[in-house]
């Protein structure tokens, strides 16, 4: 008789991995991608705004003229130079030696967390956090300190100060100064200045996630946090929202002394940055008018934001509250505490409409009565229809 062959089970997994599970929400998320669902759920760029034809020309050029285009290779110096120039738009002065190229902002975040956080260490977060960052933190099982966020003034600087004054020394604070995901907030200049003062006084590294920083719609923005301090702010940038996510092109700006540590960690993780897309992007940025491309994006997304705000004004009940986002891809809507948006999400999906409920963003998972709406990806018509359905759904819940 054959003895049954042993197979690996969860007992073989690292303790943090054992705790991973697909939430009911993640299962439903796949359904938001169905073609008949009017989805305002995910943060995808508009398909029609990718500079596909021009990119193809640069990809072809690189493949024709660069014999090493498909080889392992060092990070593109040409791309770093283009990023140094681009960063001036965010009020940031930096040099090529401070730029570290990554495969998207997500990898940048992961590298920074590995660089700064001990397993079981302590981190400082806002009470609503991009879930991709929470995933990066999970293996470290950190102690989490969180501070509230005011819908207009942004992160509660007094709460940050109180934590630091109490003697707590988190490994870093993670935040966004422009186009916050999920809250849609852009920090007033005064909040930025106060945060930097605290970072300097208490030697607190700040991870500034600026994935949406270049997508602002209402005139000039204050400088990024990195523009106010170059020692304590670890900046994370990305071409995903301004060019195309499929390129996996992002960057960090970090003090020179950490470049070596980052290169060793990145090599262990995936050896190289996507060499081909980096070179094609560098070729594009070298000759095309990226400023004009950004203006096109801003015009299109500003108009979609305005459509969403108009639709909310027309179809949502008077108890719903939202702010006017100046940057990014999202509007955050607050509903009365009795409304559980995770349940509402399931009801909406049954009517072929989707948003994201607040629970996965909430650090405690307890904040359940808000929702995030995306305006970058759906058409104007879909936005109107989706919000009409959401309004009707909220009305039926009142009845
Ligand atoms: C706040 C934030 N940070 C980082 C990322 C990851 O971006 P990338 O595609 O550059 O990895 C996203 C993607 O949606 C995001 O919303």
pLDDT tens track, the chain, 399 positions = 677 788 888 889 988 888 887 766 677 788 888 889 999 999 999 999 999 999 999 999 999 999 999 999 999 999 999 999 999 999 999 999 999 999 999 999 999 999 999 999 999 999 999 999 999 999 999 999 999 999 888 999 999 999 999 999 999 999 999 999 999 999 999 999 999 999 999 999 999 999 999 999 999 999 999 999 999 999 999 999 999 999 999 999 998 889 999 999 999 999 988 999 999 999 999 999 999 999 999 999 999 999 999 999 999 999 999 999 999 999 999 999 999 999 999 999 999 999 999 999 999 888 889 999 999 999 999 999 999 999 999 999 886
Helix H segments across 271-367? 275-287, 290-315, 341-350
CB 207 within 8 A of CB 109: yes
Choose which residue among 29, 44, 132 to substitute to test ligand 1 binding: the one with the highest number of ligand atoms within 8 A of its C-beta: 132
CB of 105 within 6 A of ligand 1: the answer is yes
CB of 242 within 6 A of ligand 1: the answer is no
Q: How far apart are the CA of 53 and the centre of ligand 1, in A?
A: 24
The rounded distance, in Å, linking the Cα atoms of 155 and 149 is 4
Choose which residue among 175, 240, 243, 327 to substitute to test ligand 1 binding: the one with the highest number of ligand atoms within 8 A of its C-beta: 240
CB 215 within 8 A of CB 179: yes
CB of 175 within 6 A of ligand 1: the answer is no
Choose which residue among 42, 133, 211 to substitute to test ligand 1 binding: the one with the highest number of ligand atoms within 8 A of its C-beta: 211
Q: What is the pLDDT, as a whole number, of residue 297? A: 98
User: Nearest 5°: phi and psi at 47?
Assistant: -55, -35
User: Nearest 5°: phi and psi at 230?
Assistant: -105, 0
Q: How far apart are the CA of 369 and the centre of ligand 1, in A?
A: 24
Ligand 1 atom showing the smallest separation from residue 249 Cα: 10
Residue with CA nearest ligand 1 atom 14? 43
Q: How far apart are the first and last CA of the chain?
A: 65
CB 89 within 8 A of CB 298: no
The rounded distance, in Å, linking the Cα atoms of 228 and 225 is 5
CB-based burial label for 254 (10 Å; 0-12, 13-18, 19+): buried
User: Nearest 5°: phi and psi at 100?
Assistant: -125, 115
Other Cβ atoms within 10 Å of 245 Cβ, number = 18
CB of 131 within 6 A of ligand 1: the answer is no
CB 174 within 8 A of CB 136: no
Q: Is the pTM of this model over 0.85?
A: yes
> For the chain, what percentages of helix, strand and coil (3-state, to nearest 5) are there?
45, 15, 40
Q: What is the pLDDT, as a whole number, of residue 1? A: 62
């Amino acid at each position: 008789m054959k003895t049954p062959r042993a197979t690996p089970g969860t007992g073989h997994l690292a303790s943090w991995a054992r705790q991973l599970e697909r939430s009911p929400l993640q299962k439903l998320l796949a359904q938001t991608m169905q073609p008949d669902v009017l989805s305002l759920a995910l943060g995808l760029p508009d398909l029609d705004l990718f500079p596909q034809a021009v990119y193809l020309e640069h990809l072809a050029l690189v493949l024709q003229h660069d014999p090493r285009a498909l080889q392992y290779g060092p990070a593109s110096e040409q791309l770093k130079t283009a990023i140094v120039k681009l960063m001036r738009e965010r009020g940031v002065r930096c040099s090529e030696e401070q730029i570290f190229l990554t495969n998207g902002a997500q990898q940048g975040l992961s590298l920074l967390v590995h660089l700064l956080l001990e397993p079981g260490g302590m981190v400082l977060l806002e009470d609503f956090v991009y879930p991709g960052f929470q995933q990066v933190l999970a293996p470290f099982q950190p102690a989490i300190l969180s501070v509230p966020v005011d819908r207009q003034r942004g992160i509660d600087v007094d709460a940050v100060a109180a934590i630091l004054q109490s003697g707590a020394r988190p490994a870093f604070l993670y935040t966004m100064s422009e186009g916050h995901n999920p809250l849609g907030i852009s920090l007033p200049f005064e909040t930025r200045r106060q945060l930097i003062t605290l970072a300097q006084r208490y030697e607190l590294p700040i991870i500034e996630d600026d994935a949406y920083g270049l997508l602002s719609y209402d005139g000039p923005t204050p400088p990024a946090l990195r523009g106010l301090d170059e020692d304590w702010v670890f900046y994370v940038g990305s071409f995903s929202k301004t060019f195309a996510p499929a390129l996996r092109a992002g960057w960090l700006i970090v003090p020179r002394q950490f470049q070596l540590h980052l290169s060793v960690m990145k090599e262990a993780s995936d050896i190289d940055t996507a060499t081909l897309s980096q070179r094609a992007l560098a070729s594009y940025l070298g000759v095309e008018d990226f400023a004009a491309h950004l203006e096109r994006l801003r015009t299109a997304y500003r108009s979609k934001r305005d459509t969403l705000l108009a639709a909310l004004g027309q179809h949502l009940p008077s108890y719903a509250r939202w702010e006017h986002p100046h940057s990014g891809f999202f509007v955050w809507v607050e509903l009365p505490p009795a409304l559980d948006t995770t349940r509402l999400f399931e009801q909406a999906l049954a009517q072929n409409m989707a948003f994201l409920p607040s629970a996965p963003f909430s650090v405690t998972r307890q904040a359940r009565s808000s929702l995030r709406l995306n305006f970058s990806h759906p058409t104007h018509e879909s936005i109107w229809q989706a919000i009409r359905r959401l309004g009707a759904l909220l009305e039926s819940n009142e009845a």
